[in-house]
Structure formats: C-alpha cells, structure tokens
C-alpha cells in the first residue's frame, strides 16, 4: 500500500480524494471531465476563492488533515453566506509535495467533505499538482434565490450593526498554540475548525440587511471595509463586546505563560472565526442568532464607544515583513 502521494500517483490520488466528497443536485456534471457543470437556478453565480498555504495558514503540528480540510471548506462557504447566498458547489485544487502521507490526504478529504455535507453543498471537481509547499485553493459558488446580493456598500447612518457567530475564539486559539498551551479547548477548536453561521447569511438578506461581510481579518478591520464602501462610520458599543468565559480563560492562561493579552483585543482584531457582520435598518427585528453591537453613523472609520482603537487585524503582507 502506498505511503505517500508520490507513490500513489496522480490519478489514484484524484480518485481517492473525490470518493469522499458529497454531491448535490446543483452539480449536474461532477469530477471526471475537463470541466464540471453546475446549475445556476437564479441565473447568476456568486463565486469566491481562497488559498491556504502550509506554514502560513496552518501547521501540521497544530492541525490534523481533517482540521485543514474543514477550514478550507468553511472559509469559502462563509464568503458565500456573507453575500446572502446559499452555496451550490465547490472546486478544490491541491498542490502538495510527493512525500506527503496518503493518510493526511485521506483525513483532509474527509474533513473537507464533512463540512460540505453539513452545508448541503457538493464538490464539482478540481485539480492536483506537485509543489514543494502544500497549498490548497478552493473556489466556491452560490445562488441568490432571486434576491439582490448583500454587498459592503449599502450601510446608512442610523443602521444597526450586528454579528452572528463567534468572535475572537480563533485568534485566542492561535495565541494559545503559539504559546504551547492546550486550554481552553473552545478557543483551540474554533481555530482549527471554525463554525461559520452559514444559514444566517440568507436569513439576514431576507430581513433586509443593508451591508454584510465575513469577519475573517478582525471585526474592526472588516467593518472598516463596510465604512469605506458605504461612506459611513461605525461606532461599536463596548457593553456589547464583553469577552465570554472562554476568552477570559484564554487571557488568564496566556498571562500565566508570560504573554499578557487583553481579551477584548481578540474580539476587535482577531480573525478566522468567520462570523458574519451586517448592518440592518434601525427598525428591523434582528434574527435570533444576531447580536446588536453598534450603530452606523455619519463620518468615516470604526470607533468603540466613540474612541478610535489601535486594533489592526490581519494583513498577509504586513506580518511577513
């Protein structure tokens, strides 16, 4: 039995991986031809793509193949939800060193397939290639079901700002891993396997959300994108940003390890929880899973209780300089 993907070979690898992926009615023609055919019931296709690079987005000593597969699917599906759409299909490209273990790829495919199945989406196809650095690229497609897409440019002064999903846990989990700590598990689990609130994207769109996005780079930084696109300001309510027990426990553990952190910073500047942030007209009854955290105002930029904050969020290039 082959121990590495180099020993297994390209076509056997493709067959092994795709066998673990779910299909859906939207995938009219799946893996096997030069291209897939995906249904577009609305007549429009919402599309997004993301890359995960070993050493940059994940490390083998911190995450299993299943964890990486889960995250690869989740971060793309969250972007589809953030437009108010439901996912229809995903494409996957895997570029890996020949010495990568087949068992890791099996775990990856299982995690990727499980998350797709949980979101009710099929895998239409993809590609494999050799590379010195393990790199995963996913393209996701979605359907708007006749509604307008919820973009970043629709927020207006007076709108409520709300979030759905977890904030800060993934960033805290990353800090814990960097410090060699194994608790609290809630933060580590969220970093390895984020849980985006997929259904809340279409729900927010149906409730009249005026702007929305996926919180992948930190709440302040991502709300700043809405501010710039909409020509508005956002003021966050400090009382609505109280850290929960897991974040407080993470801050305590990090402080004991000589790495003091303000848990509020995880809420404001953390990323990769893939929560959703949206603005709603002021008289809108928010869906049950959404929490009001602030207000849209005239002006520019994001403040907390009227004050500017230094939280910057994630930037791929700033962090490597």
Torsion sign (Cα): 41, 42, 43, 48: negative
Residue 283, SS3 per DSSP: coil
**Is residue 307 part of an annotated ligand binding site?**
no
Q: What is the pLDDT of residues 197-235, one digit of tens each?
A: 999 999 999 999 999 999 999 999 999 999 999 999 999
pLDDT at 313: 57
Radius of gyration of the chain (CA): 20
Q: Rounded mean pLDDT of the chain?
A: 93
Segment 64-69 mean pLDDT: 97
Q: What is the pLDDT of residues 284-294, one digit of tens each?
A: 999 899 999 99
% of the chain at pLDDT higher than 90: 83
User: Taking Cα atoms as reference points, which of 124, 115, 122, 138 lies closest to residue 57?
Assistant: 138
> What are the distances in angstroms from CA 144 to CA 25, 150, 177, 289?
16, 10, 38, 21
Segment 263-291 mean pLDDT: 94
**Is residue 34 part of an annotated ligand binding site?**
yes
User: Taking Cα atoms as reference points, which of 130, 145, 137 lies closest to residue 44?
Assistant: 145
Label the pairing between strands 160-164 and 307-308. unpaired
**Is residue 79 part of an annotated ligand binding site?**
yes
Q: What is the pLDDT of residues 153-174, one digit of tens each?
A: 999 999 999 999 999 999 999 9
Confidence of residue 312 (pLDDT cuts 50, 70, 90): low
DSSP state of 208: T
**pTM strictly above 0.75:** yes
Confidence of residue 11 (pLDDT cuts 50, 70, 90): confident
Peptide bond into 125 cis (omega under 30): no
**Is residue 143 part of an annotated ligand binding site?**
no
Residue 123, SS3 per DSSP: strand
Domains of the chain: 5-143 (3.30.1330.10), 160-320 (3.90.650.10)
**Is residue 300 part of an annotated ligand binding site?**
no
**Is residue 57 part of an annotated ligand binding site?**
yes
Report whether pLDDT(71) > 80: yes
DSSP state of 23: -
Report whether pLDDT(310) > 90: no
**Is residue 127 part of an annotated ligand binding site?**
yes
**Is residue 42 part of an annotated ligand binding site?**
no
Segment 16-45 mean pLDDT: 89
Report whether pLDDT(277) > 50: yes
DSSP state of 259: -
pLDDT at 320: 36
Q: Which residue has the tokens 């608790």?
A: 183
Spell out where the chain has E strands.
Answer: 27-29, 37-38, 46-53, 86-96, 122-130, 135-143, 160-164, 211-215, 233-236, 275-280, 291-297, 301-304, 307-308
- Surface-to-core class of residue 112, CB atoms within 10 Å of its CB (0-12 exposed, 13-18 middle, 19+ buried): buried
Residues 6+ apart with CB under 8 A from 277: 161, 162, 163, 212, 213, 215, 219, 222, 223, 226
């Amino acid at each position: 039995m082959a121990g590495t993907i180099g020993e297994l070979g390209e076509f056997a690898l493709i067959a092994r991986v795709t066998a673990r992926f779910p299909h859906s009615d939207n995938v009219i023609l799946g893996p096997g031809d030069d291209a897939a055919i995906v249904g577009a019931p609305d007549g429009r296709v919402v599309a997004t793509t993301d890359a995960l690079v070993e050493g940059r987005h994940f490390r083998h000593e911190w995450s299993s193949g299943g964890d990486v597969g889960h995250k690869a699917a989740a971060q793309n599906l969250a972007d589809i939800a953030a437009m108010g759409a439901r996912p229809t299909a995903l494409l996957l490209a895997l570029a890996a060193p020949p010495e990568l273990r087949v068992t890791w790829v099996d775990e990856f495919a299982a995690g990727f397939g499980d998350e797709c199945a949980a979101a009710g989406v099929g895998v239409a196809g993809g590609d494999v290639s050799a590379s010195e650095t393990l790199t995963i690229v996913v393209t996701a497609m979605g359907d708007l079901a006749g509604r307008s897409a919820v973009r970043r440019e629709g927020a207006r002064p007076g709108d409520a700002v709300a979030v759905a999903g977890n904030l800060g846990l993934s960033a805290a989990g990353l800090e814990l891993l960097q410090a060699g700590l194994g608790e609290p598990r809630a933060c580590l689990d969220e970093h390895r396997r984020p849980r985006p609130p997929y259904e809340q994207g279409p729900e927010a769109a149906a409730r009249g959300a005026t702007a929305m996005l996926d919180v992948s780079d930190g709440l302040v930084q991502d709300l700043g994108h809405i501010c710039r696109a909409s020509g508005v300001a956002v003021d966050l309510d400090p009382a609505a940003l109280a850290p929960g027990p897991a974040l407080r426990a993470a801050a305590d553990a990090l402080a004991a390890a000589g790495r003091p952190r303000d848990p509020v910073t995880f809420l404001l500047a953390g990323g990769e929880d893939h929560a959703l942030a949206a603005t709603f007209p002021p008289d809108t009854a928010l869906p049950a899973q959404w929490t009001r955290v602030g207000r849209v105002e005239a002006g520019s930029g994001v403040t907390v209780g009227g004050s500017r904050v230094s939280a910057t969020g994630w930037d791929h290039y700033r962090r490597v300089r």
